Copies of this chain bind each other. A is one copy, B any other.
Amino acid sequence: MTQHVRNGWYLGAWSDEIGRRLTQRWITDLPVLFYRLPDGTVTAVEDRCPHRKYPLSLGHLDDAGILQCDYHGYRFGPDGVCVGVAEQADRPKAALRRFPLVERDGALWIWPGDPELADEGLLPDTSWLSDPGWTQVHGVVPLKARHLLLLENLLDLTHETFLHPTSIGNAAVAATPIDVTVDGYRVGFSRRMTGIQAPPFYEKSCGLTSPVDRWQDGEFYPPGIFVLNIRLAATGTEEPEGFHMKVLYGLTPALGNETHDFYALGRDYLVDDEELTKFQHEQQLAVMQEDVDALEAQEIMYATDQGAMAESSIRSDLAALRGRRALAKMLAREQQGDRAPRGRVSV
């Protein structure tokens, strides 16, 4: 049985990845087929034909939005219901497993679990992804490490000091404590660095002269979304004069202990500066590669730890520990088949 929470929104794809071409992506151990119907709406179904499990992504989509399995000809309408079998008189009672899907601000959010529990209200605000006052870059990076390790990476940014010292990290990050807030399963943290040296990425991104103030406000929307609000300003100036950036991560379990590491990085200034956009995108990918290398090395250590040695934790782990606990509670509830509306739960 999968060890992934399925009752929750995951970033399944970016809108610009999905067109008429049939696209397969593994999500929480399920093969998901994404495709866009003639009316422009996107459908996500389990990528196994109900007949003999052949991947429908190897089939065809016609102009009427009929999806045909190219092994034996089962055909499915836009609602996933079988409309017949090509060349045959049979019309089997069969339907694809369709996943709740929300397309919003250029992102496709999928709910791989119980459709009745899917609640759009659980999605974070992503309006900045489509706001003309912002510019953003986005993509997805493959990661051979379990979802939890990526989550803990994001909820404990002290690692920027050690893993990303040439771009976004310096001593101030690890040296500055965080405040942690918990709201139901959601976990937030904020770190206020004031009067510090700007790390290279921010120095170049904002053209600021140190000292600067740097604020990090992170929010984990379990099971798979993390948003980081970044504010930079010359020390002594007020927030309205600062530089705003946002990073959204979609932490989407793939198959086994592999994870899709979706990202979007946006800013609300110099939105037409393409050179800056290019620089930021390159830096974002370089930082993510440093994380991928670290997490894949860490994954091996977890996967092979037969004794499951106890872990030492410190105050800066608080947000990550709360996030881990939230995930564990969600998974336990889901495995117990608890379908009651979720109230506030302290994690």
Chain A: residues with CB nearer than 8 A to chain B?
Answer: 1-2, 29, 31, 46-48, 50-55, 58, 68-74, 82, 85-88, 90, 92-94, 97, 152, 156, 158-159, 161-163, 171, 173-175, 255, 294, 297-298, 300-302, 304-306, 309-317
Contacts and interface: CB of A to CB of B under 8 A. Distances in A.
A233 to B, nearest CB: 22
Q: Which secondary structure dominates chain A's binding surface?
A: loop
A70 B163 contact: yes
Contacts of A1: 306
Contacts of A315: 88, 90
A158 B72 contact: yes
Contacts of A92: 312-314
B55 A301 contact: yes
A87 B314 contact: no
| Most chain B CB atoms below 10 A, which of A47, A70, A72, A158 | A72
A52 B301 CA distance: 9
Contact of A298 (B50, B71, B158): B71
A309 B88 contact: no
5 contacts: A51-B314, A51-B317, A74-B312, A87-B161, A90-B315
A71 B163 contact: yes
A71 B156 CA distance: 10
A149 B316 CA distance: 48
B52 A311 contact: yes
Given A53-B301, A87-B161, A93-B312, 5 more contacts: A31-B304, A50-B311, A54-B297, A55-B298, A88-B316
Contacts of A94: 312
